[in-house]
A and B are shown apart, each in its own frame.
Chain A
Amino acid sequence: QPPEPSLLRFLVCPLSKRPLRYEEATNELINEELGIAYPIIDGIPNMVPEAARRTHRKAPAEGSGRP
């Protein structure tokens, strides 16, 4: 389910507070700078660092954000 379009205006990365790009193909919100993607599940963006995945091909072992 895609997110509310109006919501995309407000959302930023919780870590860097920088803008995000909506990727329709994977239904994720991408922070290009940090190389992480937040998933959107059932139309609800999951904006906690624990939920984000790394977008680089060789994903490093360490997690992002708070343990």
Chain B
Amino acid sequence: RGLAAGPEMHFGFQTVTEEERREKIYQVFENVAKKYDVMNDSMTLGIHRVWKDILMHKMNPCPGTLLLDVAGGTGDIAFRFLNYVRSVRQRQLQRKLKHHQNLSWQEIFDSYQKDQFNSLGDSQVVVCDINREMLKVGKQKAQHLGYSEGLSWVLGNAEELPFDDDKFDVYTIAFGIRNVTRIDLALQEAYRVLKPGGRFLCLEFSHVSNPLLSRLYDLYSFQVIPVLGEVIAGDWRSYQYLVESIRQFPPQEELKAMIEDAGFFKVDYENLNFGIVAIHSGFKL
């Protein structure tokens, strides 16, 4: 892999070498990083937030979970994870306190002290992304929103992760796997770094089988999105790539097979919005 004149690959609807594809994709995200969140809201009319919430509910992490969020650049999944485990932890603590009916006011006061009950329950998320600009935006957002505990950032390649075997409880990749050049390698790496019993979750644009909806979706994608890209981010081409890359990405069943090839069991997928988006899940057993 990585030859100067290598095998032909697609970059959207263009045909490029593997090396060119990596570079072009890096450029796309370098260009869109600062406007990434705004564009997501505009293009999906805010619905991407619901998709990500659904992903989190499906994961249903308990406090103490160790999450690796790959291609997690601007932190959307990571922040949701921290919110989720924090609220689960809150409820755990409330239930605990309810059983201690004879506490003195001093004891009750102490129980609300910040770290005494470990507000995250030792949950941790590592955000790994290959793009420096996306990570920068993510880190800034985290500071701005007040996230610090249980969160760390790493610049790394999904195809060659800098993590040891059997380390994480959950691996997520949301709207990222489409941009990976060697998906098979990324899936193998996902399998490697997960603990036995660990879960793989992938949220990604997929294929709409309903013909009428498919036509409307195509119309919206190719007529509206690149225009939005130009108007909001001043970058038509990056959004043209984005839309094309969705069409080039394997459909639900094919991705399911690829995940199974990597060794995952009980692989399944759930369509959201008629297949515009799908969540694939698998377990390392």
Contact = CB atoms under 8 A, between A and B. Distances in A.
Nearest to A39: B155
Interface string A3-29: 110110011111101010000000000
Nearest to A65: B160
Given A10-B126, A66-B1, A67-B2, A46 B163 contact: no
Interface residues of A, number: 25
B152 interface: yes
B283 to A, nearest CB: 21
A62 interface: no
A44 B154 contact: yes
Contacts of B156: 14, 47-48
B162 A13 contact: yes
Contacts of B4: 67
A19 B135 CA distance: 24
Interface in B117-151: 124, 126, 130, 132, 135-136, 139
A49 to B, nearest CB: 7
A48 B156 CA distance: 5
A14 B2 contact: no
Contact of B152 (A7, A14, A49, A51): A7
A67 B19 CA distance: 9
A12 B154 contact: no
27 contacts: A6-B152, A10-B164, A11-B162, A12-B163, A12-B164, A14-B157, A15-B160, A19-B164, A38-B162, A42-B136, A42-B139, A43-B153, A44-B132, A44-B135, A44-B153, A45-B154, A45-B155, A45-B162, A46-B132, A46-B155, A47-B154, A47-B155, A47-B156, A47-B157, A48-B155, A49-B160, A51-B155
